[in-house]
Amino acid sequence: MREVHQYLGLAIGGVFLLLSLWGLIQWIGNRDPGPFYYRLLAVAQVGLVLQLIVGVIMFLVVRDGPVNPLHFIYGGFPILVLMFAHKYSKKLEGLEWVAFALAGLFIFGLQLRGYMTGMEMA
């Protein structure tokens, strides 16, 4: 179960990095990223929730929790970042995706730090 959580975290972090880079390229080109951007964002969000669920199951049921308590902050904070991005994106009419591109970069960093603190368990 630890490997599932680990690889899911890496994949989700990579997808959020991709969304950030995609947003940056589209912003430089002054173009809208299109509907596939939002589909990939939805997949990333669902993956993030799945990763959180797997982490909670590992902690509560399997009793295989992290050594470093910062891992919980790095794991849970991306949900708050996404909630803020959803709220803030409503203020950016026509540029809603910019909030998610910036949030994606931040979430990538959190996922990376979560991975680093989680590797202390191994």
Find, among 113, 95, 115, 104, the residue nearest to 26 by Cα.
Answer: 95
Quote the number of domains for the chain.
1
Cα–Cα dist 42/100, whole Å:
11
Residue-wise pLDDT tens for the chain (122 aa)? 778 888 898 999 999 999 999 999 999 998 999 999 999 999 999 999 999 998 888 888 877 666 677 888 888 899 999 999 999 999 988 889 999 999 999 999 999 988 888 776 55
Domain ranges, residue 24: 2-121
State how far the Cα of 80 lies from the Cα of 70, in Å rounded to an integer.
Answer: 16
Among 92, 81, 108, smallest CA distance to 20 is for 108
Question: What pLDDT score was predicted for residue 65?
Answer: 63
Question: Which residue stretches of 58-94 are H helix?
Answer: 70-89
Whole-prediction pTM value?
A: 0.88
